[in-house]
Structure 1
Amino acid sequence: MSDMSDKVILLVEDNPDDELLTLDALAANHVGNRVVVARNGVEALDYLFANGIYSGREVTDLPAVVLLDLKLPKIDGLEVLRRIRADARTQLLPVVILTSSNEDEDRLKGYTLGANSYVRKPVDFDEFVRAAGQLGLYWLLLNQPPPD
């Protein structure tokens, strides 16, 4: 079992401002994990399944958690989640939907497709920093992942 601090966080986010905000919030909370950013659904799936530019990556080396936006170019977040849950290699991977969407339908679809959590992005920076710290604390330190 590896130390969780060497595990990657996969941030799937197409908005550069939200990407920077998330990275700053994680850093402000001393979350030292490396963050890999995928800027659309195709990049996220390529990373997870070692395709495209990630074809040399070890597919069994999964991130500690995926922070997944819903409104993504190429392949949307719900379809990314569906594909994660449909593959035996990634079906147990913790996925936190991190989105500005407050639509009940998106939340219902996210949970139906197997999201572990649904977090609405706060607009206020200080609130977002606190939320990112709680996400990091929970998913990287407290959560007990399934055995390898």
Structure 2
Amino acid sequence: MPHSIEILLVEDNPGDVELTREALHESKLHIDLHVVDDGDEALAFLRHEGAYREAPRPDLILLDLNLPRTDGRAVLREVKSDPALRPIPVVVLTSSGADRDIAQAYALHANCFVTKPIGLDQFLTIVRSIEQFWLTIVKLPPET
């Protein structure tokens, strides 16, 4: 059986979660999508804490910035400051298109910044494009 690709989606909007799930469902790749809805849960997942003790190491993180409790900026800061997590690519996928948010995300070492489009078809296209680029073109770092 081919290696499954583990994606951690950190998103508090149930509609965006379902759209992402739908877009990835059509993939020819074997993708396991793990979803958490706030920054605290994301960090627990990544650190294998509590209910996430057996969680896999994600190959890719899709991260919203505006989250309850710990926001996406803080999650990004923690991921990129932890030597064990730093190699995991983080795609910021957020409704913000503000220059300040873009600059801050890159300053915190996001691997890319994508603004969620408003329309359904455009959203699906964006997620499929992320999948195409990050999971078929780019060589992801091996698990350490």
Amino acid paired to 1:51: E
CA–CA separation in structure 2 for the residues paired with 1:138 and 1:145? 11
CA–CA separation in structure 2 for the residues paired with 1:38 and 1:52? 14
CA–CA separation in structure 2 for the residues paired with 1:30 and 1:126? 19
Deviation, structure 1 residue 30: 4.5
State TM-score, norm by structure 1: 0.89
Corresponding residue for residue 67 of structure 1: 62
Contiguous gaps of at least 5 residues in structure 1: none
Number of positions where the alignment pairs a residue of Structure 1 with one of Structure 2: 143
CA–CA separation in structure 2 for the residues paired with 1:22 and 1:147? 24
Deviation, structure 1 residue 27: 1.8
Q: 1:31, 1:136 within 8 Å by CA — same for their partners in 2?
A: no
Deviation, structure 1 residue 7: 2.0
CA–CA separation in structure 2 for the residues paired with 1:32 and 1:6? 5
Q: 2:5, 2:30 within 8 Å by CA — same for their partners in 1?
A: no
Question: Is residue 90 from structure 1 mapped to residue 85 from structure 2 by the alignment?
Answer: yes
Question: Is residue 15 from structure 1 mapped to residue 13 from structure 2 by the alignment?
Answer: yes
Question: Is residue 104 from structure 1 mapped to residue 99 from structure 2 by the alignment?
Answer: yes
Matching of residues 1-148 of structure 1 within 5 Å: 6-55=4-53, 57=54, 61-148=56-143
Q: 2:9, 2:35 within 8 Å by CA — same for their partners in 1?
A: yes
Do the aligned partners of residues 29 and 129 (structure 1) sit closer, same or farther apart at CA in structure 2, a change above 3 Å counting? farther
CA–CA separation in structure 2 for the residues paired with 1:30 and 1:43? 29
Amino acid paired to 2:12: D
Q: What is the percent sequence identity of the aligned residues?
A: 39
